[in-house]
Amino acid sequence: MVEKGKVIGISYNLKVDNGETGMQQWENVPENAPFLFLAGSDSVFPKFEASLLGKSVGDSFSVFIDFENAYGDYFEERKTIIPKANFKQEGKKNQDMLRVGKVIPMQDEKGNQIKGEITKIDYLGVHMDFNPPLAGYDLSFEGKIISIRDAEPEEISHGHVHGPGGHHH
């Protein structure tokens, strides 16, 4: 059964809705390449894990998570314009990254890594959006439990899954 300390493999289809565009297809994880996570390690949304608890291999699930319990609200102030010159300083390679749709890892004032997507490039500079891609979206998962196994002690101490579909280090 799905419970704390087990490595769970799931397939799922994810549809998302931000209330404006209606329900959109977002991601499909097939049964032959399941998503693996360590239950009890905070690696998936708590509401998601809670709805899988007690299920067995072969069971299907259907989970709705409103945006407050997923990636949170969309914040206008997480959009910013960065001068093109700031990218030039980093060298030629970064200049090549300047394309709309490109996601670039950067650091905030506190030194945390945050990812920003380039939404526009114009005379003002590079317009970037640091909201998570699914900020403001409700999530609807339809899926199936593919595998359940005991986690290795090392996986529990690291707080993540090792091996195929997990961390390699």
Binding site for Zn ion (CB under 5 A): 158, 167
Q: Closest distance between Zn ion and the C-beta of residue 29, in Å?
A: 21
Q: Smallest distance, Å, CB 44 to Zn ion?
A: 17
Q: Which is nearer to Zn ion, 54 or 163 (CB)?
A: 163
The answer to whether the CB of 16 falls within 8 A of the CB of 134 is yes
For 55, the 3-state DSSP assignment is coil
Residue pair 15/24 in contact by the 8 Å Cβ criterion: yes
Distance CA 144, CA 34 (A): 10
Smaller CB distance to Zn ion: residue 127 or 158?
A: 158
Calpha distance 154→41 (Å, rounded)? 13
Sequence length of the chain is 169
The nearest distance, CB 98 to Zn ion, in angstroms, is 35
Query: Rounded CA gap, 64 and 142, in Å?
Result: 9
Q: Residues 8, 154, 61, CA angle at the centre, nearest 5°?
A: 10
Nearer to Zn ion, 63 or 161 (CB): 161
Residue 46 CB, shortest distance to Zn ion, in Å, is 22
Whose CB is nearest to Zn ion? 158
Asked whether 119 and 128 are in contact (CB, 8 A), the reply is: yes
Asked whether 119 and 32 are in contact (CB, 8 A), the reply is no
Q: Judged by CB, which is closer to Zn ion: 14, or 36? A: 36
Our CB check for Zn ion shows the closer of 149 and 167 to be 167
Shortest Å, Cβ 164 to Zn ion:
14
